[in-house]
Amino acid sequence: MIFDVIFRNIHLLLSGLGVTFQIFILAWIGSFLLGIGLGVLRLSSRKAIYWPVTIYIQTMRSIPLILVIFGFYLLLPIITGKSMPSLVSAVISFIVFEAVYFAEIVRGGIQSVRKNLIDAGYSTGLSYFQVMTFIILPQAIKNMIPSIVTQSVVVFQDTALAYVIGVKEFLRITTLVNVREVRSIELYLFAALVYFCICSFGSLLARRMEKRYGG
Amino acid sequence: MLNYTFDWSVIWRHPYGGWLLEGILITIQLSILAWGIALFLGVIIASLRNLPQKWVKAVAAAYVETFRNIPLLVQLFFWYFAAPELLPYSARQWLYQNIEPTTLSYYTAIISLSLFTSSRIAEHARSGFSSIPKGQYLAAFSTGLNTLQVYRYVIIPYTIRVFIPPLTTEFVTIFKNSALAMTLGVTETTFMSQRIDSYTFHGLEATIGAMVIYLLISLSVSGLMGFVERFLYIPGLIRKR
Amino acid sequence: MSKNNTIIEIKGLNHWYGNFHVLKEINLETRRSSCVVICGPSGSGKSTLLRCINGLEVFKEGDVIINGKSVSQCFHNHKELYKLRSKFGMVFQHFELYPHMRVLDNITLAPRRVLCLSKNEAEKSAMALLEKVGILEQAYKYPANLSGGQQQRVAIARALAMNPDILLFDEPTSALDPEMIRDVLKVMADLAKEGMTMLVVTHEMGFANAVADEIVFMEEGNIIEHDDAVTFFKCPKSNRAVEFVDRILVHI
Ligand SMILES: Nc1ncnc2c1ncn2[C@@H]1O[C@H](COP(=O)(O)OP(=O)(O)O)[C@@H](O)[C@H]1O
Ligand SMILES: [Mg+2]
């Protein structure tokens, strides 16, 4: 094994990693925000809100991400009438898919806030929206931080799936370099190592926080 | 909206319907096999992490960290494209000559899925072990039970109760994860849906059809496991209390 | 007592949790500036009653009239409901301070967000309240760094910050160590002396005896006895109340 192949192609590989991070950040922000919305809505007592949101969440949780990616890749050109960059299509898929996992975390977090604490807010005359914004969500998010970090690691791992529709992210670039260089051991080991370092850092962080916030 | 006429018949029309059925069969085979192996490996690894020897603990922990923190897709590619290169030349020669490429990719998928899932199961099993309050041991021993009885009647039922629900989740998850095997050309459900796309250009319908298939599989698996859960732990636990 | 001196009027209040009848045909009138102690065994519906009074619980039957305004009318109008609640202060057994906010922010949250006071104004009156409950020096700490008694006094200050017409206390001293109970009860007694209308769920019969104008004894969702404090302690009418008071007094 000689790792010169890595150094020779480091620019390419790094650009792939850049795209991976770009997907990750966009997907993370989008799915987190959508997840908060869905999580809050899922606690609604109105059936017209509760059921559609619940069905959406349960459906997404039951199907593979890869199918969602293919689905949007095929669907977007049909509804927009023009071809979409595969990166955009991938990011949309990630947002729509990962949001439901964040939603479940948010729901759990909100439910973990003591009922009397919420009443304390209401009893001073705060509105539902104010109680949600100033009391429940800050509390809930603090309780949820370890799960959020863990889920973020999953999102990061999942970005590799953008490979299947040809997004030039890290894994796709690695395979492309391999096609040219035919050095699969070094290249895939390197890819595995990079993902490993980033994801274990995230996992470590999650564990630290779990200890700190009493998990 | 562009003028796109849906043709849902690609889901059942000959030969596409047959393809999907074949895909479902392979999805189920792949998932159940991998889940069985993963459960076995996972419980062993979790037990190793409970042993007093430091180095055993460290090895088991490294195993879990490695397989958990590398994306499944990367693991698949590693085992499929890179791992055979690590074999001696003659062994590799034998492998490629005597084993069909499709069989090879099928088994690679099983190995990757099992290793990936086993690390997650090991984590669940471990938190099952560690969630037992110390007081449970004390209370059980203080009533004069021997070690075997303490485990048999108190600790293991407790562990199983905590362990079964995440196990169910992993079982549902492995069906979804098995879809990644398509990237190696394993002809499971997702692969078939995309093959229909390349033959008919009606991939959207096929993809949605495949989604419904996974949805049904998930529902049946959760239903089944819900039944198993009720059967397994409620009688034991209620008596215990 | 003249009619317009009534601040809370509960008329035929009934409430159920599922099939469980928690409050049974409750009728109660409270005069302005009086201190009413509500006692009774746990599970008798005391907390639920308080929560119905400030509209935290959407009760099923009957009505509560606050200052001539019907609570059940507000159930259909969120704005009105929020306005109604802001007329109350509520203090809980477990304080329920917002753990992610400093003491000062706990107190100023509602004045700033509901009354739209400026940060400065809100903080100035918050400081005055903290001084009143005797913990001015804790203003910039987080709740977790305060003792139970201090936390409860912050909670009282928070309730007072909205200039409420009525204060509701739900077992405010039950979670406190004995030596801290006194500080909290002292603050409450002072408030009563100043003429605050107070409904206090408590088992502190010493406080009830010294401060309360009226005592309400509840059991299984009914008001068994409602007397002025002197009568209640001298010659209670119902056997259950006698038993309960005896048990509690012995316990103290
Ligand atoms: N949210 C609820 N859902 C169902 N039952 C409740 C709920 N809150 C209280 N209860 C029941 O109502 C009864 C009265 O409760 P509560 O008003 O808290 O009593 P108290 O404060 O006098 O101890 C209890 O039996 C309790 O179990
Ligand atoms: Mg109570």
Q: Between chains, do C87 and A125 touch, taking CB under 8 Å as contact?
A: yes
Q: Which pLDDT value is given to residue B7?
A: 85
- Look at chain A and report how many structural domains it folds into: 1
Q: How far apart are CA A119 and CA A3, in angstroms?
A: 62
When the pLDDT of each residue in chain C is averaged and rounded to a whole number, the result is 90
CA distance A37 to chain B (A): 24
Does the structure show a pLDDT above 70 at C2? no
DSSP class of residue C199 equals: E
Q: Which residues of B touch A169 (CB under 8 A)?
A: none
d(CA C31, CA A97): 58
Domain at B214, CATH number: 1.10.3720.10
Residues of chain C in contact with residue A142, where contact means CB-CB under 8 angstroms, are: 100
- Is residue B103 a contact partner of residue B80, using CB atoms and an 8 Å limit? no
> How many beta-carbon pairs below 8 A join chains A and B?
117
Q: What percent of chain C has pLDDT over 70?
A: 96
- In terms of DSSP bridges, do strands C35-39 and C214-219 run parallel, antiparallel, or are they unpaired? parallel
Torsion over CA: C162, C163, C169, C175 (sign): positive
Q: From the CA of C35, how many Å to the nearest CA of chain A?
A: 19
For residue A1 the two structure tokens come to 């094994």
**Strand, coil or helix: A140:** helix
Residue recorded with tokens 């005069």: C31
**Which of B113, B206, B216, B178 is CA-nearest to residue A58?**
B216
- Residue B35, in any domain of the structure: yes
Q: What is the pLDDT of residue A54?
A: 94
Closest ligand to Cα C49: 1
Kindly state whether residue B166 falls inside one of the protein's structural domains: yes
* A192: nearest CB among B70, B183, B217: B70
C neighbour chains, 3+ CB pairs within 8 Å: A
Contacts of C94 (CB under 8 A, 6+ apart): A114, A116, C175
The residue contributing the CA closest to ligand 1 atom 18 is C47
Evaluate whether residue B65 is within a structural domain.
yes
**Residue B210 to residues B11, B24, B76, B219, Cα–Cα distance (Å):** 9, 9, 22, 14
Local confidence pLDDT in tens for the 215 residues of chain A = 677 888 888 999 999 999 999 999 999 999 999 999 999 999 888 899 999 999 999 999 999 999 999 999 999 998 888 888 999 999 999 999 999 999 999 999 998 888 888 899 999 889 988 998 999 988 888 888 889 999 999 999 999 999 999 999 999 999 999 988 888 899 999 999 999 999 999 999 988 888 876 54
- The confidence score (pLDDT) of residue C1 equals 44
pLDDT score of B155: 72
Residues of C in contact with A129 (CB under 8 A): none
Q: How far is the CA of B205 from the centre of ligand 2 (A)?
A: 57
Q: What is the pLDDT of residue B234?
A: 40
Spatial distance between the Cα atoms of A36 and C234, rounded to a whole number of angstroms: 58
For residue C46, the CA-to-ligand 2 centroid distance in Å is 6
pLDDT, mean of residues C159-179: 92
**In the numeric block, which tokens belong to residue B157?**
């039922």
SS3 state of residue B200: helix
Segments in chain A forming alpha helices (H): 4-8, 10-42, 47-62, 65-80, 86-111, 115-123, 128-130, 137-158, 170-181, 184-212
What DSSP element (H or E) covers C12?
A: strand C6-17
- Indicate the average pLDDT of chain B: 85
Ligand 1 center–CA C221 separation, angstroms: 10
Chain B residues within an 8 Å CB radius of A203: 65, 68-69
Question: How would you label A32-60 residue by residue, b for 16+ Cβ within 10 Å and e otherwise?
Answer: bebbbebbbbbeeeeeeeeeebeebbeeb
Number of domains in chain B: 1
- State the Cα–Cα distance between residues B84 and C174, nearest whole angstrom: 69
Q: Residue B165 burial (CB < 10 Å; 0-12/13-18/19+)?
A: middle
Which of A161-175, B141-155, B199-213, C7-21 is predicted least confidently?
B141-155
Provide the shortest C-alpha distance from residue A60 to chain C (in Å): 33
Per the CB < 8 A criterion, the answer to whether B181 and B105 are in contact is yes
Range of the domain at A67: 4-213
- The dihedral sign for the CA sequence A189, A192, A198, A202: negative
- Which chain A residues have a beta carbon less than 8 Å from that of B71? 157-158, 160-161, 171, 195
- pLDDT band of residue B24 (cuts 50, 70, 90) is very high
- Does residue C220 register a pLDDT over 50? yes
Per-residue model confidence (pLDDT) at position C230: 87
Q: Confidence band (pLDDT; 50, 70, 90) for B238?
A: very low
Q: Sign of the C-alpha dihedral, residues A8, A11, A15, A20?
A: positive
Alpha carbons B7 and B202: distance in angstroms, whole number: 7
CATH at residue A161 = 1.10.3720.10
- What is the reported pLDDT for B129? 77
Q: Looking at chain A, which residue has its C-alpha nearest residue B198?
A: A74
Q: In A, which residues are within 8 Å of B4 by CB distance?
A: 78
B interface with A, Cβ–Cβ < 8 A, is 1-2, 4, 65-66, 68-75, 77-78, 81-82, 85-86, 172, 176-177, 179-180, 182-183, 190, 193-194, 197, 203-204, 207-208, 210-211, 214-215, 217-219
Chain B closest CA to A54's CA: distance in Å? 14
CB C52 within 8 A of CB C9: no
Those chains having 3 or more beta-carbon pairs within 8 angstroms of chain B are A
Assess if residue B98 is contained within a domain: yes
Q: What is the DSSP string of C22-65?
A: EEEEEEEEEETT-EEEEE-STTSSHHHHHHHHTTSS--SEEEEE
> What mean pLDDT is predicted for residues B25-43?
94
pLDDT at residue C56 in the model: 86
Quick one: pLDDT band at residue B232, thresholds 50, 70, 90?
low
Nearest to B73 among A80, A171, A184 (CB): A171
Q: Is C214 left (phi over 0), alpha (psi -120 to 50) or beta?
A: beta
Report residue A214 as tokens: 């009493």
Query: Mutate which of A46, A122, A124 to test chain C, going by most C C-beta atoms within 10 A?
Result: A124
Does chain C reach chain B with at least 3 CB pairs under 8 Å? no
Could you tell me which residues are beta bridge partners of residue C89? C167
C-alpha–C-alpha distance, residues A115 and A122, integer Å: 11
Half-sphere exposure of A19 (CA within 13 A, CB side): 23
Torsion of CA C45, C9, C236, C187, to 10 degrees: 80
What single letter denotes the amino acid at residue A89? S
Mean pLDDT of the region B39-64: 89
**Residues lining ligand 2 (ion), CB within 5 A?**
C 47
Q: Tell how far CA C197 is from the center of its chain.
A: 9
Q: Considering only alpha carbons, which residue of chain A is nearest residue C86?
A: A125
CA of C75 to the centre of ligand 1 (A): 21
Which residues contact residue A182 at a Cβ distance below 8 angstroms, ignoring those fewer than 6 apart?
Answer: none
Task: Flag whether B240 is in a domain.
Answer: no
Q: Contact at 8 Å (CB) between B25 and B186?
A: no
Q: Domains of chain C by range and CATH?
A: 3-251 (3.40.50.300)
Nearest chain A residue to C47, by CA: A116
Mean pLDDT of B177-200: 93
**What are C's interface residues with A at a Cβ cutoff of 8 A?**
51, 54, 56, 78, 82-83, 85-90, 92-94, 96-100, 109-110, 113-114, 155, 158-159, 161-162, 168
CB contact under 8 A, A120 and C51: no
Report the pLDDT value the prediction gives residue A83, as an integer from 0 to 100: 85
> Is the pLDDT at B130 greater than 70, yes or no?
yes
Q: Which domain covers residue B37, as residue numbers?
A: 15-231
Overall average pLDDT of the B202-212 stretch: 92
